[in-house]
């Protein structure tokens, strides 16, 4: 979908109100997830909200972001943005929009490459935004109501000049168990697409998720997600973020090891309250 051209802020207001269904309630910006992609988050909309006071533009996550940014510059104090809501409300997408906004306005058009590990990496803006595919591959999964639900809490701290992301995993159980209409973490299914055959060979996994009971108790594919394309996005993100090739291979190897670990079998030792391997194939 090509984004519309806005001649004035009122035109954008109409698009925002009708498509995003946002409104203010006190300090909060309340939005409704339309469950489809809308052209209200591109660079043109970023520019339209930059430097605007809260009531000078229609309600939007970019307005909340810009007000926090301007308050930081004016008061020289840290700012926080809390994004909350029920399952499928759009917390993950709104978090990405906030990161996108800060990355865009703070870089200010300077796209110098960052020198890391002896090779040129992406710009600071690229590196901040590239964190998303990698975090989603290892932290997002399908649940009953949302194909790309964050199964972990995110506390993201952005220092202007450098950036850092801290996360804490809330659903370790999803690695080993899924309900019939849910799916495990995206990375497992991305690797098994065989879109990068070298990963299959290196990790000794197969292209059939059903060979690994730990990740095939629910769904193995999601209609709205192209696992092949997402694997490329994940792989590119690892490079942009400055990981060396050896480090990237360790990430994939460890992921493969998790799958193999789920295929290990154990049995109880006779007359002892201990377990021992039941075969050593894995």
| pLDDT at residue 32, as a whole number | 87
Architecture of the CATH domain 83-277: 3-Layer(aba) Sandwich (3.40)
Interval 3-58: pLDDT, tens:
444 444 444 444 444 345 688 888 889 988 887 778 888 888 988 999 888 888 89
pLDDT at 195 over 80: yes
pLDDT band, residue 117 (cuts 50/70/90): very low
Neighbours of 172 (CB within 10 A): 9
Dihedral of alpha carbons 105, 106, 108, 111, sign: negative
% the chain with pLDDT above 70: 79
Strand 113-116 and strand 119-123: the pairing is antiparallel
Q: How much is the mean pLDDT over the chain?
A: 81
End-to-end CA distance of the chain: 48
Mean pLDDT for the stretch of residues 229-242? 92
Q: Is residue 162 pLDDT above 50, yes or no?
A: no
Question: For residue 209, is pLDDT > 90?
Answer: yes
Which candidate, 177, 193, 116, 99, places its Cα nearest to that of 143?
Answer: 177
Q: Give the CA-trace dihedral at 212, 142, 237, 249, to 10 degrees.
A: -10
pLDDT tens-place string over residues 245-267: 999 999 999 999 999 999 999 99
Tokens 């996550």 correspond to 61
Nearest-angstrom CA–CA distance, 4 and 12: 9
- pLDDT surpasses 60 at 190: yes
CA distance 77 to 95: 21
What is the reported pLDDT for 60?
Answer: 92
The answer on pLDDT for 111 being more than 60 is no
pTM for the complete prediction?
0.60
pLDDT recorded at residue 73: 84
Asked if pLDDT for residue 108 goes beyond 50, the answer is: yes
DSSP secondary structure string for all residues of 165-208: EEEEES-THHHH---TT---BHHHHHHTT-SSHHHHHHHT--S-
State residue 232's pLDDT score: 96
Tell me which of 20 and 180 has the higher pLDDT: 180
**pLDDT for 244:** 93
Quote the strand ranges of the chain, DSSP E. 23-25, 28-30, 113-116, 119-123, 140-141, 149-150, 152-159, 162-169, 266-268, 275-277
Mean pLDDT score, 218-247? 93
Q: In the prediction, which pLDDT does 1 show?
A: 40
The distance of Cα 52 from the centroid of its chain, to the nearest Å, equals 28
């Amino acid at each position: 979908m090509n984004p519309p051209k806005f001649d004035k802020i009122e035109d954008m207001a109409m698009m925002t109100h009708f498509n995003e269904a946002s409104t203010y309630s006190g300090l909060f910006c309340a939005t409704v997830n339309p469950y489809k992609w809308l052209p209200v988050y591109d660079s043109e909309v970023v520019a339209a909200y930059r430097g605007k006071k809260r009531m000078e533009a229609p309600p939007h996550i970019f307005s909340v972001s810009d007000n926090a940014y301007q308050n930081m510059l004016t008061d020289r104090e840290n700012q926080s943005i809390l994004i909350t809501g029920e399952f499928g409300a759009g917390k993950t997408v709104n978090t990405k929009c906030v990161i996108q906004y800060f990355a865009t306005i703070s870089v200010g058009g300077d796209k110098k490459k960052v020198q890391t590990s002896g090779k040129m990496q992406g710009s600071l803006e690229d590196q901040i935004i590239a964190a998303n595919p990698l975090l989603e591959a290892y932290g997002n999964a399908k649940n009953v109501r949302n194909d790309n639900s964050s199964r972990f809490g995110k506390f993201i701290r952005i220092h202007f000049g450098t950036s850092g992301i801290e996360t804490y995993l809330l659903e370790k159980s999803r690695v080993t168990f899924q309900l019939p209409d849910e799916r495990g973490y995206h990375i497992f299914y991305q690797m098994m697409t065989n879109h990068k055959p070298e990963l299959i060979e290196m990790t000794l996994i197969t292209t059939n998720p059903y060979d690994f009971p730990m990740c095939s108790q629910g769904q193995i594919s999601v209609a709205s997600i192209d696992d092949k394309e997402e694997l490329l996005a994940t792989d590119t993100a690892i490079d942009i973020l400055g990981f060396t090739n050896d480090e990237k291979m360790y990430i994939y190897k460890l992921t493969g090891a998790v799958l193999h670990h789920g295929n290990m079998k154990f049995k109880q030792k006779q007359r002892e309250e201990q377990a021992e391997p039941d075969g050593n194939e894995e």
